[in-house]
Structure 1
Amino acid sequence: MEDKIGKVIQEIERCGTKFVRLQFVDIHGTPKNMAVPLVKPDDMEDILKDGLLFDGSSVAGFVNINESDLIIKPDPETFSHLPWRPEEKGVCRFICDIYWPDGKPFEGDPRYILKRTLEKAKNDGYEYNVGPEPEFFIVEKDEDGRIHPHDNGVYFDVEPVDQGTDMRRELVLGLEELKFEVEASHHEVAPGQHEISFKFDDALKTADAVITFKQAIKAIVDKMGYLVTFMPKPFFGENGSGMHCHQSLFKHSENLFYDPEGKNQLSQEAMYFMGGLLKHSPALACVVAPTINSYKRLVPGYEAPVYISYGLKNRSTLVRVPASRGKGTRIEFRCPDPSCNPYLAFAAMLEAGMDGIKNKVDPGEPVEIDVFGLDESGLEEMGIKTLPSSLWEAYHALEKDEVIKNALGEHIYPQFYQLKRKEWDDYRIQVFRYEQDKYLQI
C-alpha cells in the first residue's frame, strides 16, 4: 500500500494536479463526490491512509441523522485524471470505499456489497468477470424543452445518416485516457442510440468502470451541446437501452464455463450457473432493471429479453451463450439496463449463479427457436415464463427471494425495497396525458 500511495503522489506532483475528487455512489448507483484542494501533493498521503469524515445522513440509502458520521477513503487503484477538466491545475479522481468511524466497512456502501460477494466467491476458489454492454441515447432539446434523438440513424449506420461518428470518436479517445480498453463503438437500433463496448474484467473493476463510463460520456457530450441519457426507454415506439452482461467464472486462470468434452462445450458449472440466473431472474429483475421506466423496455416486440429461457446463440432468450469457446466462454444475461447500480447488480447476479452451482439447478434444454414469435399457448406448452412486467411485480418477487435479499445485505435490502415501493406509489397516483386522451369523454 505504501508503494501505491507513493506512486499516486508522484503522479499528482508530475501533473501539477490541484483538486482531487473523492467519488462513491448511493444506493441507486448515482455518483456522489467531494472535491478537495491540494496545497501540496503530500496532502494526499493522509487522505489515502486515513480518509475524510463526512455526513452520510444526506445520501440515499446510507444512515439516519443520529448516526451520520462516516469515513470516505480513496482506493489508490482507481486513481485517474479527468480528461474533460482543464489540464492546468487539473483534477484527479479516486473511487472510494465507505467506513464507520471505528474502521469497519459500512454495510450500506454498494461497493462493499460487491467486494464482500467477490471475497466469498474467492474463498471458494472462483474469480468472477463481467463484460457489460451499456447502450445510451444522445438527445437534444427543442424550444419547448422536449427531447428528441440527435439523429435518425439505425443499427450500424454510417455518415451522413449516423450523426454520432465524431461524437463516438471523442468519447472513445476520452475513455482511453481513463484507461478503458474499448472494443468497439457503433450506432444502435434506435434513432440517436449508441453503444460503446469495453473489455471484460474483474467484476469490481468493471463496476467502477461502468460508473466512470456513464459520468465521462455525459461530461464529454455536454461540452458538445447535447445530452446523454441512460434512461432505459426514453421514446415510445423505439427500442430501449439495455446493458447486457457477459459473465464468466475462472479458477487458476482457467475458464470454468468451458469444457471441450461437455455438451455444446459447456461445463456443468456453466449449466448450473445459468440455472441459478433463470431461477432467480424475477427477483434479479428488481435489482438489474430497477426503475419504473425499465419495464417500458421489457415488453414483447422490441427485441427485449422478457422470456425466462436460455439459448446458445438465440437473442430472443433471457440468457444466451455466445459462440466463443475456450477462455472466451461466457454467459450473457440480457435483462439488465444501464439505470442499475452495477455494484448491486453484479453482486446479485453472482449470488444467483453461485446458488445455481451450489444447488445444481438444471436450466433444462436450450431454446433455439424465436421465442418472440410464440403466442401464450406456445409459451405455456414449452413451459416458458416471463419476467415481471412492472416494478410492482419485480419488488414483490424480490421480497420472496432469500438469495437475492441476502446478496443485498441486511442494511441495503430493506432500504432498497422501501425505495422501490415508494417509487411505484409515486408513479401510480400520477395522471398522464394518455389517460386524459383516452378517458376524458367517459
Structure 2
Amino acid sequence: MVDEIGNAIKVMHDENIKFVRLQFVDINGIPKSISVPLGSDEDMEDLFNDGMLFDGSSVDGFVEIHESDLLLKPDLSTFSSLPWRPDESGVSRFICDIYTPEGKPFKGDPRSTLKSSLEKLKDKGYSYNIGPEPEFFIIDQDEDGNYIPHDDAGYFDVDPTDKGTNFRRKLVIDLEDLGFEVEGSHHEVAPGQNEIAFKFDKALKTADAVITFKQAIKAIVDNMGYKVTFMPKPFFGVNGSGMHCHQSLFKGDKNLFSDENNENGLSQEALYFMGGLLKHSPALSAVVAPTVNSYKRLVPGYEAPVYMAYGLKNRSALIRIPAARGKGTRIEYRSPDPSCNPYLAFAAMLEAGLDGLKHKIDPGEPTEFNIYNLSDEELGEKGINVLPASLWEAYHAFEEDDVIKKGLGQHISEKFLESKYAEWDEYRIQVFGYEQKKYIGL
C-alpha cells in the first residue's frame, strides 16, 4: 500500500512500472480503465493531484453527451501491480474516484456512492465490515461450441475428479501477490464450480477487492486456455453461483453484533440490522441480484435463498447466523450473486441495516427448520414471505423503496432503473429453444 505521492512514484520506479492503469467501474460494476505510460515525476505528480479528464458519456449510467467531461483521481492506497501481465510490460493499477470538472464527487460514481453511505457511520465511530464469498465456474466448450463445465466434480472433491486444483493453486498465489489474504479454496457443489474465500475487511476495501478478484481470476484462467464465468446460473439443473455476504458493525475493536449475555450471542443491534435487511430485501434483490439470470438461481431446491427469514445456522433462510461468536459474530446475507456491482450492493445493504437500527425493526423469531419443506399455506401461516421471483418483480420493489433509492442517490437510482427496464425488455421479447420445443406443435 502507498499513501503519498512521492512514495507511490518511488514504488513504481522500484518495480520497473512502465504503464499505469486508472480503473473505475460503470453502473453495472464492469471494470473500465485508461492506460497511461509512466511519465516524468512531475507528470505523475500532476496526475495524482489533478486527475485525468475522460468522456463520461460513453460509460453506462454516467452522463449525457452534452455534459461528458468527468475526472479520474487515483486512490493511492489501491496501488497494485498486475501479476497476470507479462513481467516485461510493467503494469500497475490504481482504482479511481470520479469527480466533476469542478472538483465535486460525481453522483453517478458507484464507489463514491458507497463512500457516502459509509460517511453516515463516521460520527458514531462505526465501521462496516464485509466478507463476501464469490463463487464461479471454470468452463470449456464442446465440439459444437456449447459451454460446458470444466469437470464433473462436486462439493469438496479432490483430484483427479476435481480438475480445478491447478487453477486454484495459481489463482491463490497470484491473489496473494495482489495483497489478498486467502482463507481457503475448494470445489463447490456444481460441476466446474469453485470458490476462493478471502478475509473480511472494511466495506470499501472489500468492494475494491471483489472487482480486482473477478478481473484477476478471468485474466489468469484465460492465460491458461480456459474461461471463467461469474454468471449466476450458467447451467440448468445444478446449483448457481452466489456471493454470500458476511457482515458486521464494529466500534474500534468491539463487534457491535456480539452480546455474550444473550442466549444466542447476538446483540439488539444485530437483530435490528437484520430487521432492516429483511424489510428491504425485495428492493435489495434488484441491486444484489441484478440480472435476468439471477432469478434462475433464486429458486427452491438448489440451496439458494428464496424465503425472507433468518435462522441460526439455517441455510434455507435468507439470513444465516454462522456459529462463530465474539469478534467473529456476523450475519450472512445469502441472496447476492457475483454479477452485482459490489459498491452498490454493499451500500444498499448498509442503508437497509441502518434503517433497521434507526427504526428498531424487529426481525421476529429465528426460523429453525427447513423452509423448503413448507407449503404455500404453511408459509402464509408463519408469515414468511418470498423474495422476488424475477428481475421485473425486483425492480418494481426497488421503485417503491424510498430508503434504498435515497441511499443510492437520485442519479444512481434513475440510471440503474433505466438499465433494468432495458434489460427486461430485451429479455422478454426473446424466443428460446425451450419455448420452441414446448409450443411449436400448437
* TM-score of the two chains, using structure 1 as the length reference: 0.99
Contact map agreement 2:245 2:333 (CA 8 A) in 1 = yes
2:152 aligns with: 152
In the TM superposition, 1:393-412 aligns within 5 A as 393-412=393-412
CA shift digits 1:153-196 (9 cap, x unpaired): 10000000000001000000010000000000000000000000
Question: Match for residue 331 of structure 1?
Answer: 331
Residue 46 (str. 1) matches residue 46 (str. 2): yes
Shift of 1:361: 0.3
> Alpha-carbon deviations, 1:45-98, whole Å to 9, x = none?
211111101000000000000000000010000000000112224100000000
Correspondence for 2:424 = 424
Q: Which amino acid aligns with 2:169?
A: R
Matches of 2:175 and 2:86, distance apart in 1: 16
SS class of match (1:347): helix
Q: Is the 8 A contact 1:128 1:247 kept in 2?
A: yes
Is the CA contact 1:311–1:321 (under 8 Å) kept in the aligned structure 2?
Answer: yes
Higher mean alpha-carbon deviation, 120-129 vs 263-272, is at: 120-129
CA contact (8 A) 1:9 1:42 kept: no
Separation of aligned partners in 1, 2:94 and 2:284 = 29
Alignment of 1:336-375 (within 5 A): 336-375=336-375
Q: Partners in 2 of 1:99 and 1:162 — Cα distance?
A: 46
AA aligned opposite 1:382: K
Superposed displacement of residue 223, structure 1: 0.6
Matched with 2:169 is 169
Q: Distance in 2 between matches of 1:32 and 1:433?
A: 34
Retained in 1: the 8 A contact 2:2–2:77?
no
Instruction: Tell whether the 8 Å contact from 1:298 to 1:304 is kept in structure 2 after alignment.
Output: yes
Residues 133, 245 of structure 1: 8 Å contact kept: yes
* CA–CA distance in structure 2, aligned partners of residues 320 and 263 of structure 1: 16
**Which residue is equivalent to 1:67?**
67
**Cα deviation digits, residues 87-137 of structure 1 (max 9, x gap):** 224100000000000100000000000000001122233210000000000
1:113: which partner in 2?
A: 113
Q: Deviations over 1:250-293 (max 9, x none)?
A: 11220000011123111100000000000000000000000000
Q: Partners of 2:74 and 2:180 in 1: how far apart?
A: 20
Moved more, 1-10 or 58-67: 1-10
Give the aligned residue type for 2:379: L
> Displacement of 1:2 after TM fit?
10
Alignment of 1:237-276 (within 5 A): 237-276=237-276
User: Once the two structures are superposed, what CA deviation does each residue of 1:289-343 show, in whole Å capped at 9, x if it has no partner?
Assistant: 0000000000011111000000011011000110101110001000000000000
**1:312 counterpart letter in structure 2:** L
> How far off its partner does 1:375 sit?
1.6
How big is the shift at 1:374? Answer: 1.2
Question: What corresponds to 2:181 in structure 1?
Answer: 181
Quick check: 374-383 or 151-160, which moved more? 374-383
The aligned amino acid for 1:367 is T
CA distance in 2, matches of 1:235, 1:383: 33
C-alpha distance in 2, partners of 1:80/1:252? Answer: 27
Per-residue deviation, 1:143: 3.0
Determine the structure 1 residue equivalent to 2:133: 133
Counterpart-to-counterpart distance in 2, 1:396 and 1:263: 39
**Displacement after TM superposition at 1:138 (Å):** 0.3
Say whether the 8 Å CA contact 2:134–2:242 is kept in structure 1.
Answer: yes
Map 1:288-307 → 2, pairs under 5 A: 288-307=288-307
Partners of 1:56 and 1:161 in 2: CA distance = 47
CA–CA distance in 1 between the matches of 2:392 and 2:432?
A: 18
Amino acid of the structure 2 residue aligned with 1:98 = I
What secondary structure, in the 3-state scheme, does the structure 1 residue paired with 2:317 have?
A: coil
1:144 Cα offset (Å): 2.2
Contact conserved, 1:136 with 1:195, CA < 8 A, in 2?
yes
What's the secondary structure of 2:409's corresponding residue?
Answer: helix
* Backbone CA RMSD of aligned residues: 1.2
SS of the equivalent of 1:336 reads coil
**Equivalent position amino acid for 2:160 in 1:** P
What CA distance in whole angstroms lies between the structure 1 residues aligned with 2:121 and 2:226?
42
- C-alpha distance in structure 1 between counterparts of 2:46 and 2:40, whole Å: 12
> How far apart are 1:41 and its partner, in Å?
4.8
Instruction: Letter of the 1:412 partner, please give it.
Output: I
Q: Which SS does the other structure have where 1:263 is aligned? A: coil
Q: CA deviation at 1:28?
A: 0.1
User: Distance in 1 between the 2:2 and 2:398 partners?
Assistant: 43
Residues 3-61 of structure 1, C-alpha deviation per residue, up to 9 Å, x if partnerless? 62111111111111100000000000000001001134553221111110100000000
- 1:75 and 1:390 map into 2 onto residues whose CA distance is 37
d(CA) in 2 for partners of 1:312, 1:42: 57
Contact 2:3 2:76 in 1 (8 A): no
Residue identity (%): 70
Contact 1:12 1:41 in 2 (8 A): no
Separation (CA, whole Å) in 1 of partners of 2:205 and 2:133: 15
CA distance in 1, matches of 2:401, 2:3: 44
Say whether 1:227 aligns with 2:224: no
Aligned to 1:439: 439
User: Separation in 1 of the partners of 2:225 and 2:16?
Assistant: 29
- Does the 8 Å CA contact 1:13/1:41 hold for their aligned counterparts? no
Query: Quick one: which amino acid aligns to residue 8 of structure 1?
Result: A
| Residue-pair matches, total | 442
- For residues 132 and 299 of structure 1, what CA distance do their matches in structure 2 show? 21
AA partner of residue 420 (structure 2): K
In structure 2, the residue matched to 1:209 is 209
2:155 aligns to what SS in structure 1?
coil
